Amino acid sequence: MELLRFTTAGSVDDGKSTLIGRLLYDSKSIFEEQIEAVKNSSKKKGLEHVDLSLLTDGLKDEREQGITIDVAYRYFATPKRKFIIADTPGHIQYTRNMVTGASTANLALILIDARKGVVEQTSRHSFIASLLQIPHVIVCVNKMDLVDYSEEQFDKVVEQYKEFAAKLNVKDIRFVPISALHGDNVVNRSENMPWYQGETLLHTLETIHIGNDNNLIDCRFPVQTVIRPHNNEYHDYRGYAGRVAGGVFKIGDKVLVLPSGFSSTIKQIDTYDGPLQEAYPPMSVTIVLDDDIDISRGDMIVRENNQPQVSQEIDVMLCWLNVRGPVPNGKYILRHTTNEVRTMIKEVLYKVDINTLHRIEDDKVIRMNEISRVRLRTTKPLLADSYTRNRQTGSLILVDESTNETVAAGMIID
Amino acid sequence: MSNYFLSHLKELEAEAIYVIREVIAQFERPAILFSGGKDSIVVTHLARKAFFPAKIPMPLIHIDTGHNFPETIAFRNNLVEELGVQLIVGSVQESINEGRAVEESGRNASRNALQTVTLLEAIESNKIDAALGGARRDEEKARAKERFFSHRDDYGQWDPKNQRPELWNLFNGKKSHGEHFRVFPISNWTEMDIWQYILTENIAIPSLYFAHNREVIYRDNTWLPVSEFITVREEETVIKKQIRFRTLGDITITGGIESDADTLDKIVMEVAASRHTERGNRADDKRSETSMEDRKKQGYF
Instruction: Give mean pLDDT, residues A177-197.
Output: 94
- The A residues from 283 to 322 touching B (CB cutoff 8 Å) are 283-284, 286, 297, 321
Over residues A310-321, mean pLDDT:
95
110-129 in A: which are within 8 Å (CB) of B? none
Q: Pick from A44, A20, A57: which is nearest to B290 by CA?
A: A57
Residue of B nearest to A100 (CA): B167
pLDDT of residue A41: 78
At position A80, the amino acid (one-letter code) is: K
Residue A362: domain span: 309-413
Domain co-membership, A174 together with A284: no
Poorest-confidence range of A335-339, A397-401, B97-101?
B97-101
Amino acid at the residue A180: A
Res A130: pLDDT:
94
Is the separation of the CB atoms in A206 and A162 below 8 Å? no
Indicate whether A237 belongs to any domain: yes
Asked if the Cβ–Cβ distance from B280 to A31 is below 8 Å, we say: yes
In a domain, A215, yes or no: no
- Size of chain A, expressed as the number of residues it contains: 414
Residues of A in contact with B290 (CB under 8 A): 60
Number of domains composing chain A: 3
Average pLDDT, chain A: 90
In a domain, A123, yes or no: yes
Test A399 with B275 for CB contact under 8 angstroms. no
Same-domain status, A192 and A276: no
More confident: A359 or A47: A359
pLDDT at A94: 77
* Run of H or E including A398: strand A395-400
Within this chain, do residues A33 and A150 fall inside the same structural domain, yes or no? yes
- The span from the first CA to the last CA of chain B, in angstroms, equals 42
Instruction: Name the amino acid, one letter, at A116.
Output: K
Residue of chain B whose alpha carbon sits nearest to that of A29 = B275
pLDDT score, position A223:
98
Residue where a domain terminates, one of A274, A303, A332 = A303
- Test the B interface: residue of A227, A276, A333, A392 with most B CBs within 10 Å: A227
Whether B167 sits inside 8 A of A100 (CB atoms) is yes
Choosing from A303, A329, A364, the residue where a domain stops is A303
pLDDT for B132: 97
Query: In terms of pLDDT, which residue wins out, A155 or B110?
Result: A155
Give, as one character, the DSSP assignment of residue A179. Answer: B
A102 lies in the same domain as A193: yes
Rounded to 10 degrees, the C-alpha dihedral B148/B154/B155/B159 comes to: -40
CATH number, residue A7: 3.40.50.300
AA identity, residue B72? T
Q: How confident is the model at residue A59 (pLDDT cuts 50, 70, 90)?
A: very low
Q: Which of A135-144, A310-319, B132-141, B206-215 has the lowest mean pLDDT?
A: B132-141
Cross-chain Cβ contact A75/B175 below 8 Å: no
CATH number for the domain spanning A284: value is 2.40.30.10
Q: Check whether residue A197 and residue A320 sit in a common domain.
A: no
What local confidence, expressed as pLDDT, does residue B232 receive? 87
Burial per residue of B169-205, b for 16 or more beta-carbon CB atoms within 10 angstroms, e otherwise: bbbbbbbeeeebbbbbbbbbbbbbbbbbbbeebebeb
Residue A153: pLDDT band (50, 70, 90) is very high
Query: Which pLDDT belongs to residue B91?
Result: 85
For residue B49, the model assigns a pLDDT of 98
With cut-offs at 50, 70 and 90, classify the pLDDT of residue A258: very high
Closest CA to B52 of A414, A190, A228: A228
Between CA A279 and CA A296 the distance in angstroms is: 20
Mean pLDDT throughout A256-272? Answer: 96
CB contact under 8 A, B138 and A99: no
Produce one character per residue of B120-137: b if its CB has 16 or more CB atoms within 10 Å, e if not: bbbbeebebbbbbbbbbb
Looking at the DSSP bridge assignments, the partners of residue A371 are A319, A352
Measured between beta carbons, the chain A residues lying within 8 angstroms of B13 are: 284
Is the domain of A285 the same as that of A334? no
Of B69, B113, B79, B74, give the one whose Cα is nearest residue B249: B69
Does A63 score more than 70 pLDDT? no
Per CB-CB distance under 8 Å, the chain B contacts of A71 are 145
Using CB atoms, pick whichever of A32, A82, A227 lies closest to residue B54: A227
From chain A, pick out residues whose CB is under 8 angstroms from the CB of B172.
335, 397, 399, 404-406
Strand pairing of A107-113 and B212-219?
unpaired
Residue A409 falls inside a structural domain = yes
The answer to whether A195 faces chain B, any CB pair under 8 Å, is: no
Is the pLDDT confidence value at A12 over 90? no
Residue B168 · residue A104 · CB < 8 Å: yes
A347 assigned to some structural domain: yes
Is residue A172's pLDDT more than 50?
A: yes
How close does chain B come to A102, measured CA to CA in Å?
8
Q: Is the dihedral of CA B250, B251, B256, B259 positive or negative?
A: positive
Q: Is residue A175 part of a domain?
A: yes
Same structural domain, A191 and A254 = no
pLDDT reading at A190 higher than 70: yes
pLDDT of A77 > 60? The answer is yes
Number of other residues whose CB lies within 10 A of the CB of residue A212 = 12
Mutate to test the interface with B, among A404, A407, A412 (most CBs of B within 10 A): A404
Contact (CB<8Å) B165/A409: yes
- How far is the C-alpha of A317 from the C-alpha of A352, rounded, in Å? 9
Q: Is A279 found in the same domain as A313?
A: no
Please list every residue in chain B whose beta carbon sits closer than 8 Å to the beta carbon of residue A280.
4
Q: Do residues A239 and A288 make contact, with C-beta atoms less than 8 angstroms apart?
A: yes
- Mean pLDDT on A94-116: 91
Q: Can you point out the beta strands (E) in chain B? A: 30-33, 60-64, 87-91, 130-132, 149-152, 180-183, 212-219, 222-225, 239-244, 257-258
**Residues A141-150: what's their mean pLDDT?**
96
Predicted pLDDT at B283: 61
Count Cβ neighbours within 10 Å for each residue of B52-71 and write b for 16 or more, e otherwise. bebebebbbbbbbbebbbeb
Chain B residues lying within 8 Å of A273, measured CB to CB: 49
Residue by residue, DSSP assigns A78-125 as -SSEEEEEEEEE-SGGGHHHHHHHHHT-SEEEEEEETTT-S-HHHHHH
Interchain CB distance below 8 Å, B164 and A406:
yes
| Chain B residues with beta carbon closer than 8 angstroms to that of A241 | 21, 50-51
Cβ of B160 and A395 within 8 Å? no
Is residue A81 within 8 angstroms of chain B, CB to CB?
yes
Banded pLDDT at A67 (limits 50, 70, 90) = very low
Q: In this complex, do A211 and B193 lie within 8 Å of one another by their Cβ atoms?
A: no
Instruction: Looking at the complex, report in whole angstroms how far the Cα of residue A91 sits from the nearest Cα belonging to chain B.
Output: 17
Whether B187 contacts B171, CB under 8 Å = no
pLDDT on residue B247: 85
pLDDT above 60: residue A323: yes
Query: What sign does the dihedral A262-A263-A269-A270 (CA atoms) show?
Result: negative
Mean local confidence (pLDDT), A296-318: 96
DSSP B221: T
Helix residue spans in B107-248 (DSSP H): 115-125, 191-201
Mean pLDDT of all residues in A53-81: 69
Neighbours of B3 (CB within 10 A): 6
Question: Which has the minimum average pLDDT: A90-94, A311-315, B89-93?
Answer: A90-94
According to the model, what pLDDT value does residue A32 have? 72
A213 part of a folded domain: no
Which parts of B85-190 fold into alpha helices (H)? Answer: 92-97, 115-125
Are A167 and A241 within one domain? no
**Domain termination site, one of A207, A230, A264:** A207
Q: What is the pLDDT of residue A184?
A: 95
pLDDT at A143: 95
| pLDDT score recorded for residue A51 | 77
Query: Order of strands across the sheet with A2-10?
Result: A72-77, A81-89, A2-10, A107-113, A136-142, A172-177
The neighbour count for residue B99, using CB atoms within 10 Å, is 7
Look at residue A69 and tell me whether its pLDDT is greater than 70: no
Q: Is A98:A72 a contact under the CB 8 Å cutoff?
A: no
Q: Quick check: A159 pLDDT over 90?
A: yes
3 state DSSP class of A333: strand
- Whether residues A201 and A246 fall in one domain: no
Please give the domain boundaries of chain B with CATH numbers for all domains: 8-193+290-298 (3.40.50.620), 206-285 (no CATH)
DSSP assignments along A240-296, one per residue: EEEE--BS-EETT-EEEEETTTEEEEEEEEE-TT--BSEE-TT-EEEEEESS-----
Residues A284 and A323 placed together within one structural domain of the fold = no
Residue A214 domain-assigned? no
If asked whether residues A24 and A146 sit together in one domain, one would say yes
Low-confidence ranges of chain B (pLDDT < 50): 1
The pLDDT assigned to B251 comes to 84
pLDDT (mean) for A1-10: 88
**CA dist., res. B206 & res. B72, Å (int):** 6
Confidence of residue A10 (pLDDT cuts 50, 70, 90): low
**Nearest-by-Cβ selection for B4 from A272, A280, A333:** A280
Is the minimum CB–CB distance between A405 and chain B shorter than 8 Å? Answer: yes
Residues 6+ apart with CB under 8 A from B289: none
B120-128: long-range contacts, CB 8 A cutoff, minimum separation 24: B120/B155, B120/B156, B120/B299, B121/B90, B121/B95, B122/B61, B122/B63, B122/B88, B122/B90, B123/B61, B123/B156, B123/B180, B126/B29, B126/B31, B126/B59, B126/B61, B126/B88, B127/B29, B128/B29, B128/B30, B128/B31, B128/B61, B128/B180
The answer on pLDDT for A240 being more than 90 is yes
Q: CA nearest A132 in B: which residue?
A: B168
From the list A204, A213, A212, the residue with the least C-alpha distance to A23 is A204
